[in-house]
Amino acid sequence: MKSEYVVLEGLVRTRYTSVAWTHKIQEKQAEIYDKRYRILATVNIFAASITSAGIFSLIFTDQTWLKIASAVVSFITIFISALLKSFDLQSMAKANKATATKLVGLRDELQTLILKIKMGEQSVYSLTDEFEALQKRVHVVYSDAPKTTDAAVKMAEEALKINGGNTFTDMEIDMMLPDTLKRRGKDE
């Protein structure tokens, strides 16, 4: 392969891995929000049930500890309800999932571009133009992407088995690509 194709391939491979990495972070952030929502909603239902049972039992008994316990659990229910309304975890998860979906499409297009580079049937200039157009679309998605947490980054690192950051080794890139698009042979 000519050196200009190798240089372009290196750039596209790095961008591919960056997009795949960001996609996984967005996915993991959505999972975090979904899990938090499920936990808070479950605790809220449980607390509301206990509050109702406590208030209902006050009809039959006049115990002070039951009144205090019902009041405390009622405040917990109000607090959790306020949290769920203030931080719309479902919408936040949906935004992360939407960004992840956009990134999957871009990742697949970058993978196809790597294939075109390896095939060498188009000029390096044509392929560079295609890469630059893809780069612009990637930057639009990145600029609109919702924020993520360190926990999501850590989960993505574990899922992809890479160190993260903005630089990737050839081996880390190859781990994310199909065998036919890897730079290294299977024996290396």
Q: What is the DSSP letter of 123?
A: -
Segment 14-65, tens digit of pLDDT: 999 999 999 999 999 999 999 999 999 998 888 888 888 887 887 788 888 8
Q: Are 33 and 151 in contact (CB under 8 A)?
A: no
Q: What is the pLDDT of residue 65?
A: 86
Residues 6+ apart with CB under 8 A from 67: 58
* Structure-token match 């050196």, residue found: 3
Residues 6+ apart with CB under 8 A from 89: 33, 34, 36, 37, 40
* Sequence ranges of the domains in the chain: 3-181
Q: Are 127 and 8 in contact (CB under 8 A)?
A: yes
Residue 166, SS3?
coil
Segment 98-134, tens digit of pLDDT: 999 999 999 999 999 999 999 999 999 999 999 999 9
